[in-house]
Structure 1
Amino acid sequence: MDAFQDVRDRLSIQFEFVWRQIREPLIVPLLRIAVFLCLGMSLMMLVERVYMGIVICLVKLLGKKPEKRYKYETFKEDVELGNSNYPMVLIQVPMYNEREVYQLSIGAACGLSWPSHRIIVQILDDSTDPTIKELVQVECLRWRSKGVNIKYEVRDNRNGYKAGALKEGMKHSYVKQCDYVAIFDADFQPQPDFLCQTIPFLVNNSEIGLVQARWKFAVAYGKFMENLGLKSR
């Protein structure tokens, strides 16, 4: 037993001696490399921020707004035709169990500033929860009673998921009378003048086939962090 203990002590001493010999030439260079890598990455981030700042300033100072780059004329009611000169627009809103936002989304789509007889709001409900499905349908009926041309569409499968729902929605006969299509996600809340700001670009510029608007998040950063449980107390 004493012999075994003696051997173990000798091995420990030898390992400690070897470690002391290689610690400085091995660890120190690795630490230096790590420090230089961190400094290099920090410098790259600084250069990127400075570059982006310069680009943003140049765009603000020299860049042209879309209204100046492309032909842009707002729609006005015609004396003879009234607002029949407005193009027919289809609004597609795909949904899937959107209990928290369905009312806001449908309300925003139905509240767009556009002649009521020149717009169709299409709610594509793929919800699997019967309760939510009923709530969405009731909300659509409520807006229909206010004179909004809103369609509540469901299907017996979820093939293609959201893209499949949008594609299926385009197969309805009433879609053929529409000139343009606007797609809003279930949690989107477009401003009332969204169509008035975007459709003129499509009407007056034949080379433009798609207009994408800027996104803003309704949930503030602090609220987002609070929801994640990361907000300081």
Structure 2
Amino acid sequence: MGLTIAYIIIGIYSTSLLLIFFYSLAQLNLLVNYLGNKKINEVAPKYNLLDAKEIPFVTIQLPIYNEEYVVERLLENISKMEYPKSKLEIQVLDDSTDKLTVEETAGRIKALQETGLDIQHIRRENRTGYKAGALKEGLKIAKGDFIAIFDADFLPEYDWLKKTVIYFKDEEIGVVQTRWGHINRDYSTLTKIQAFALDAHFTLEQVGRNAKGHFINFNGTAGIWRKECILDAGNWEGDTLTEDLDLSYRAQLKNWKFKYLEDVETPAELPVVISAARSQQFRWNKG
């Protein structure tokens, strides 16, 4: 009996070591791919934004829901985006249920409209499909050939569009995804741990996979889609919590290419309390 238990324990231990070994080989492969990726973007075809005829029309979508504390900062940041106004549209997809927040958002949008910015406040009668439903609703009337998406806590740099939309010169590219940054990385030990874990994903894993043409996913924000790609892949669907992953894989199964830009960082805030971080991780894993 004792000998049998010993064999079982050794078997479990050996299997675990073997799995760890295979995982390590996979990570090593990603590292090799990552190191060999440096020059790919340098030789990629790009739009010449100095030529007015090559500047594509872009729609920025901002899906928000009761973002009382960050919506003003978001709108101020996006309004500073350096891109020809005649080629830029901004959709604030506001599913908020807080009347005061809605009114304040509407007031800020009106003030921006008076500056000549093409920005629209889009409200729905119901929240069917949640974020995916809001994105799908906005897409129906979007003027742009390319759709940039930012969650409420993301703050792209003023030249973000100029660094990303240029890669759609390659007509096979359906998505350009940028790397998440962290405004409050050094706030606490918790934020430092989260930043470390996310950085590993957004550098080694995403770049390593993308370098060899393996599937990667749009991360729900801080990226830009070709409108044709969204429609060809079946559009946004709200039947899963991870609508970004769902549409990403459907698009790549349709042979659309994804481009990941490690050098373009889009900063955002990390959860600063353990309950918020746990809730975020639970949602991602449940999806």
The answer to whether TM tops 0.5 is yes
Q: Residues 167 and 176 of structure 2 are in contact (CA less than 8 Å); yes or no, is this contact kept in structure 1? A: no
Which of 51, 57, 61 is residue 88 of structure 1 equivalent to?
Answer: 57
The CA deviation string for residues 162-196 of structure 1, in whole angstroms up to 9 with x for no partner, is: 22222322444xx44x4433222333322211221
Paired with 2:136 and 2:26, the residues of 1 have a C-alpha distance of: 41
Structure 1 residue matching 2:121: 3-state secondary structure: strand
Residue of structure 1 aligned with 2:185, choices 194, 197, 220: 220
- Determine the structure 1 residue equivalent to 2:44: 69
Residues 180 and 99 (structure 1 numbering): CA distance in 2 closer, same or farther, change over 3 Å? Answer: same
Moved over 6 A (4+): none
Cα 1:118–1:56 shift into 2, 3 Å: closer
Amino acid at match of 2:178: R
The match for 2:147 is 181
CA distance in 2, matches of 1:57, 1:170: 37
Q: Structure 1: how far apart are the matches of 2:96 and 2:19?
A: 46
Greater percentage in strand = 2
Unaligned runs of 5+ in 1: 1-21, 78-82
Match of 2:136 in 1: 167
Which residue of structure 2 aligns with residue 210 of structure 1? 174
Is structure 2 residue 21 aligned with structure 1 residue 52?
no
1:112 has 2:86 as partner = no
- TM-align CA RMSD: 2.8
Q: CA deviation at 1:113?
A: 0.5
1:154 Cα offset (Å): 0.8
Q: CA deviation at 1:208?
A: 3.4
Aligned positions, number? 193
CA contact (8 A) 2:47 2:55 kept: no
CA contact (8 A) 1:94 1:185 kept: yes
Structure 1 residues 53 and 132, CA, compared in 2 at 3 Å: closer, same or farther?
Answer: same
Identity value in percent: 27
- 2:105 match: 136
**DSSP 3-state at the match of 1:182:** strand
Q: Find 1:200's aligned residue among 161, 166, 177.
A: 166
TM-score, L = length of structure 1 = 0.69
